[in-house]
Structure 1
Amino acid sequence: MTNETNSPSPGDTQPWGTRRRRFVEARSGAVERAWAPRAVRVEDGPSIGRRQIELRHLGGLEVTVEVDQFLDLGEASWNGEAVSFVAPTTSPHAEGWARRWQGGLLTTCGLTAVGVASPAEGGMHGRAHTVPASVTRTEGRWSDDGRYELAVEGFLREGAVFEQNLTLERSIRAEVGVGRIAIHDVIRNEGFVAEPVKVLYHLNLGWPLLHGGAIVAVQADPAVVVEASGVAGVWRRAVDEPVAGAAEQVDALDAVAELDGWSTATLTGEAGTVTIRFRPEQLPFLTIWRSAVAGSYALGIEPGTCWPSHAVGPERGKVGRTLEPGESFGVDLEIVFSAAEGVFAD
């Protein structure tokens, strides 16, 4: 938008937000056709029939919301480049995690298992990412201060006769012109006995944002260091180039909050910076997954109520959070894309 939106004509007494909206409407007769969330359906290939919602024009960021994968975030591009991990897998309906998982920007793991788990627990990383969402809201609308906001909301239930009865309500927010996605989840125990809840937000980044020499930095400590000394710090690593047959690396960390109560994890490379923000009071455990294997080159930044069961770390981080009957808790997560700073800046 030009500065014209900030400069009222003589005698114009309308609020600034109204002036901004009217400026746009004078130049685009139906902004919802260009800016509002767009529902689509895959018409070919192994994902045929899959429901998706596209979030576009987010200041260089474009994101697909996967309705049939409980409102997870699928393919993401930043300034025209795909930056979420693209997995070389068979189809969303294939057997087992390794053939089924599509990658994408965000996969919700849980609600009763995270990491290696038995079929009775839902298998690898649980069931949440396999449950289609009941979409309760999808719209674009003007705010009072002249911003065009996007909203997608939905609901899932993970339950069984004589077993757990857990629900998750998700709200996704974005704004036209701003490279940011905000997620707010509410997880509730609708059953009548206490239930352990394990949930992990598997955020997955790929090339070209991910490359050799890119820097991942998080406000966290290795779990063993925290247990030994209680000293808080910043965990920082340089990313390796892909190599055939390279071993995966899984680091179990304790999240550390800033003064504002948020913890920050960043990946900075030549293509830009992605910043993940979350609250350690909600998600105290952080897993960093690094795959330098050629063909499956990825970085996972994974805050959660626990670490994956296969992570090397103390058992205290693998228990999850217990919810009493009727109890709920909220989770807030932000994903922000921006131009690279520091060593990669022009």
Structure 2
Amino acid sequence: METTLCSTRDGVSGHLLFDRSSALDIAAFVFDGTDLSPGLAIPSDGDHRIDHALAGFLFTCGPDHIRHPEAVEGRDDGRRYPLHGSLAGTPVIRAEMSADGTRCQALTEVDLASGGKAAVERRWSVAENGQGVVLEDRVTNVGDSAFAPMMMYHMNIGGRLLGRETRIVTPSLESGLIGWQFGEGESAHFCIPAHHEDGWSEVSLTPLPGLGGRRLAVRFRVDTLPFLQMWRCQRGGANVISIEPASHRLAKRVELATSGELGVIEPGQSRSYALAFTVT
């Protein structure tokens, strides 16, 4: 976890600490001296890869599966897609930081649960105006058989930073906003079609008392990430909320395949994804 991307806005510094051991996901996002990541305040599903990734600010589900394990199609040996897919916990092959510390690129090759292989070309950059961080991913099928690409980006925020006044604000919600402790009980989630303008959707958490009343805003491309999923957990020592742009609605793989929503990319074909975030 040694690669750092820096940005400055109105005299306030922001730093990203990347995890080279897991596809160059974000291990920490420190803004004005405060890390937004949940750290140890997370629940455990018993998968060390995901426990490690969930403690950070962003980790990537995919590129072959998202959400909970399911059987691999066409196999009778009990093989299953792992929790949140195959990418988490896969080290990068190479990473390169620009001299000015505003861009970082990496390549990760991942063995898919179905037996194929994919390459994830990742580019992190600070927007030219210094007002945000941009992630661009290209997933290429470098194996010998087609596979169904699925991606979801978990952006994890420590619940300690939120207060009773904090709201989820997005035009994707019919009401435009809801309280961050939505649903009932200690844990809840929803997944809805992402409203968009000019091909991008936006959601924000605001205000954040733990960041001096600031706002975290996330934007993502809807052509390949057409759904907004959100999840929270306040159970035992866990206190986390996650913004999760997703490629597919909340449904089993068999249902998605039957309805023609799963899709495939053939060997040599690629699919691109992008998101951006900022604190203001």
Unaligned 5+ segments in structure 1 are 1-50, 142-148, 222-232, 339-346
Q: Specify whether residues 161 and 329 from structure 1 end up closer, same or farther in structure 2 by C-alpha distance, changes over 3 A only.
A: closer
Q: Specify whether residues 234 and 330 from structure 1 end up closer, same or farther in structure 2 by C-alpha distance, changes over 3 A only.
A: farther
Higher RCO, Cα 8 Å, sep 6+: 2
What is the Cα deviation at residue 164 of structure 1?
1.6
What is the Cα deviation at residue 123 of structure 1?
2.0
- 2:155 maps to 203
Q: CA RMSD in A?
A: 3.2
- 2:75 maps to none
- 2:118 maps to 166
- 1:103 maps to 55
Q: Specify whether residues 189 and 124 from structure 1 end up closer, same or farther in structure 2 by C-alpha distance, changes over 3 A only.
A: same
Q: Is the 8 A contact 1:57 1:176 kept in 2?
A: no
- 1:285 maps to 227
What is the Cα deviation at residue 234 of structure 1?
5.6
Question: Residues 127-157 of structure 1: CA distance to partner in whole angstroms, max 9, x if unpaired?
Answer: 211100122421233xxxxxxx511111112
Q: 1:255 aligns with which of 191, 194, 205?
A: 194
Q: Is the 8 A contact 1:211 1:240 kept in 2?
A: no
Q: Is the 8 A contact 2:29 2:36 kept in 1?
A: yes
Alignment of 1:1-346 (within 5 A): 51-59=1-9, 60-88=13-41, 95-96=47-48, 99-117=51-69, 120-141=79-100, 150-159=102-111, 163-174=115-126, 178-221=130-173, 233=174, 235-240=176-181, 246-258=185-197, 260-269=198-207, 270=209, 271=211, 272-307=214-249, 315=256, 320-338=262-280
Q: Is the 8 A contact 1:216 1:239 kept in 2?
A: yes
Number of residues of Structure 1 aligned to a counterpart in Structure 2: 262
Query: TM-score by structure 2 length?
Result: 0.81
- 3-state SS of the aligned residue for 2:139? strand
Q: Specify whether residues 329 and 138 from structure 1 end up closer, same or farther in structure 2 by C-alpha distance, changes over 3 A only.
A: same
What is the Cα deviation at residue 294 of structure 1?
4.9
Q: Specify whether residues 90 and 69 from structure 1 end up closer, same or farther in structure 2 by C-alpha distance, changes over 3 A only.
A: farther
**Higher alpha-carbon Rg:** 1
Q: Specify whether residues 294 and 62 from structure 1 end up closer, same or farther in structure 2 by C-alpha distance, changes over 3 A only.
A: farther
Q: Specify whether residues 318 and 68 from structure 1 end up closer, same or farther in structure 2 by C-alpha distance, changes over 3 A only.
A: farther
- For residues 82 and 49 of structure 2, what CA distance do their matches in structure 1 show? 8
Q: Is the 8 A contact 2:41 2:158 kept in 1?
A: no
Question: Residues 229-276 of structure 1: CA distance to partner in whole angstroms, max 9, x if unpaired?
Answer: xxxx465211239xxx94311101111111x22100101123311111
Q: Is the 8 A contact 2:232 2:240 kept in 1?
A: yes
Q: Is the 8 A contact 1:89 1:100 kept in 2?
A: no
Q: Specify whether residues 212 and 140 from structure 1 end up closer, same or farther in structure 2 by C-alpha distance, changes over 3 A only.
A: farther
What is the Cα deviation at residue 52 of structure 1?
2.3
- For residues 128 and 7 of structure 2, what CA distance do their matches in structure 1 show? 6
- For residues 124 and 151 of structure 2, what CA distance do their matches in structure 1 show? 17
What is the Cα deviation at residue 99 of structure 1?
4.4
- For residues 289 and 161 of structure 1, what CA distance do their matches in structure 2 show? 25
Q: Specify whether residues 57 and 331 from structure 1 end up closer, same or farther in structure 2 by C-alpha distance, changes over 3 A only.
A: closer
- For residues 206 and 89 of structure 1, what CA distance do their matches in structure 2 show? 9
Q: Is the 8 A contact 1:197 1:322 kept in 2?
A: yes
Q: Is the 8 A contact 1:88 1:296 kept in 2?
A: yes
Query: TM-score by structure 1 length?
Result: 0.67
- For residues 319 and 116 of structure 1, what CA distance do their matches in structure 2 show? 18
- 3-state SS of the aligned residue for 1:171? strand
- For residues 161 and 295 of structure 1, what CA distance do their matches in structure 2 show? 32
Q: Which amino acid aligns with 1:200?
A: M
